[in-house]
Amino acid sequence: MQNFDYNIPTKVYFGKGQIEKLGEIKNYASRVLMVYGGGSIKRAGIYDQAVSVLRENGIEFFELSGVDPNPRLETVQLGKKLCLDKGLDGVLAIGGGSSIDCSKAIAAAVKYDGNVWDMTSDWSLMQDALPVFVVSTMAATGSEMDAYAVITNTETNEKKDLGGDPVIPKFSILDPKFTYSVPKFQTAAGAADIISHVFEVYFNRTPKAYLQKRMSEAVMKTVIKYGPIAVNDPKNYEARANLMWASSLAINGLLSNGCYLDWGIHPIEHELSAYFDVTHGAGLAVVMPAWMEHVLQDDTVEQFAEYAVNVWGVEAEGRDQYEVAREGIAKTRDFFVNDLGLPGTLHELNVPEDSLEMMAGNLNGVLTGTFVPMTTEDVLAIYKACY
């Protein structure tokens, strides 16, 4: 296990009725920008509840609505302008990862004189940010408890992340009932995203991070148990609650502290979202099994066989490790397609076949330090295997 500093500073208010805690914004800010998406929070009654608590507590707010899934740089710039024009001192995200990420980028942009897009190439440019507060309405990205924001630049067709301590939410309100209205497809895509965050941590080259491995398996098994229940029974509190907490734990540092990591799967998906507006978790569900098959080799087979046994209960006694590993990968694909009902190919996600080479080319030199380093040819082979 490597050295690490443990610091997960987001205060979490988990459970029914926790929206009342929104008043705690007063401890940090008095005039906030409320950032949300296309209106699901209004339809689900979350907007009204939030507004009522803000008013009761005398917190002034201005609104930026219409944040797109795969949030865009121009929306971030609009939010920055609103904050500066109105003299706002905090950003409140109400929504899924897109609204939260957009809020984080706005919060950082306000404190930076240049174009916030610069930060996607140089994270050290983020020195300060307005405080960020979150009401999460989806179990997926874990953005409610992490330091990252992923933004799409539609001019250059790039989807890149920025990150830093200043944008870690001060607090996040996680009421599982707020996720009851998430549609089946988004629930399923969110479950796949949670699992992907664990994969990025679980498959690593750090020796003897035993505890992290076992905790990661617990999070994966939770999603495997409750993902399909939430898809088929959207108002099942137990399922929604377990997914919501799994979403945060998958990426908040708990599973990754002490491990050497350089994420290798997400960049392969981000190309799909950047060019074809693919839903992040749905793209990942297609890419992940193909990635696993591609990186299965003599120095990784033990980890994949361990995954098959511990997560999927595959029988290993007297069997070849490759056979065990391949059964685990097959079960993973089956889970995404048959249990969660997600598409199984890039073709179904409307990604044109003649774009595969170009997207693979964009990742030239990007995936060199990952679990298994990838050349352009490797990435292309994965895309082709997914088609």
Contacts with ligand NZQ by CB under 6 A lie at 37-40, 44, 69-70, 95-99, 101, 137-138, 140-143, 146, 148-150, 178-179, 181-182, 186, 190, 193, 251, 266, 273, 280-281
Tell me: does residue 101 bind Zn ion (CB under 5 A). no
Tell me: does residue 193 bind Zn ion (CB under 5 A). yes
Among candidates 242, 153, 236, 151, which has minimal Cα distance to 190?
A: 242
- 8 Å CB contact between 284 and 335: no
The entry of ligand NZQ, Zn ion, none that residue 242 binds, CB within 5 to 8 Å by partner kind: none
- Give the HSE-up count for residue 96: Cα atoms under 13 Å, Cβ half-sphere: 28
**Between β-strands 148-153 and 158-163, what pairing exists: parallel, antiparallel or unpaired?**
antiparallel
- Read off the tokens for 226: 């409750």
- If the CB atoms of residues 49 and 98 are measured against Zn ion, the closer one turns out to be 98
Give me the least distance between CB of 150 and ligand NZQ, in Å please: 4
- If the CB atoms of residues 80 and 197 are measured against ligand NZQ, the closer one turns out to be 197
Give me the least distance between CB of 255 and Zn ion, in Å please: 14
Give me the least distance between CB of 295 and ligand NZQ, in Å please: 19
- If the CB atoms of residues 134 and 325 are measured against ligand NZQ, the closer one turns out to be 134
Give me the least distance between CB of 233 and Zn ion, in Å please: 24
The entry of ligand NZQ, Zn ion, none that residue 182 binds, CB within 5 to 8 Å by partner kind: ligand NZQ
The entry of ligand NZQ, Zn ion, none that residue 150 binds, CB within 5 to 8 Å by partner kind: ligand NZQ
Give me the least distance between CB of 44 and ligand NZQ, in Å please: 5
The entry of ligand NZQ, Zn ion, none that residue 204 binds, CB within 5 to 8 Å by partner kind: none
The entry of Zn ion, ligand NZQ, none that residue 186 binds, CB within 5 to 8 Å by partner kind: ligand NZQ
**What letter does residue 181 receive in the DSSP assignment?**
T
Looking at the DSSP assignment, which residues form a beta bridge with residue 351?
none
> Where is 333: in which H helix or E strand?
helix 321-334
- The alpha helices in the chain, defined as continuous H runs, are 40-43, 46-56, 73-86, 97-110, 184-202, 210-232, 237-251, 266-276, 280-295, 301-312, 321-334, 356-362, 376-386
Tell me: does residue 161 bind Zn ion (CB under 5 A). no
Beta-carbon contacts of 265 under 8 Å, excluding residues fewer than 6 positions away, are: 196, 199, 200, 284, 287, 288, 291
Torsion angles phi and psi, residue 242, rounded to 5: -65, -40
- 8 Å CB contact between 133 and 171: yes
Pick the stretch among 153-161, 192-200, 202-210, 234-242 that binds Zn ion (CB under 5 A). Answer: 192-200
Give the whole-angstrom CA distance, residue 29 versus residue 147: 20
- If the CB atoms of residues 88 and 94 are measured against ligand NZQ, the closer one turns out to be 94
- 8 Å CB contact between 106 and 63: no
Q: Measured between alpha carbons, how far apart are the two ends of the chain, in Å?
A: 38
- If the CB atoms of residues 90 and 142 are measured against ligand NZQ, the closer one turns out to be 142
Measure Cα distances from 345 to 26, 194, 236, 288, 289 in Å: 48, 19, 29, 11, 11
Give me the least distance between CB of 316 and ligand NZQ, in Å please: 31
- If the CB atoms of residues 146 and 327 are measured against ligand NZQ, the closer one turns out to be 146
Q: What's CA 301's distance to the chain center, in Å?
A: 27
- If the CB atoms of residues 265 and 308 are measured against ligand NZQ, the closer one turns out to be 265
Give me the least distance between CB of 238 and ligand NZQ, in Å please: 17
Measure Cα distances from 244 to 96, 145, 189, 312, 333 in Å: 11, 11, 13, 22, 22
Collapsed DSSP state (helix, strand, coil) of residue 13: strand
Give me the least distance between CB of 342 and ligand NZQ, in Å please: 13
Give me the least distance between CB of 335 and Zn ion, in Å please: 17
- If the CB atoms of residues 156 and 297 are measured against ligand NZQ, the closer one turns out to be 156
**Site residues, Zn ion (CB under 5 A):** 193
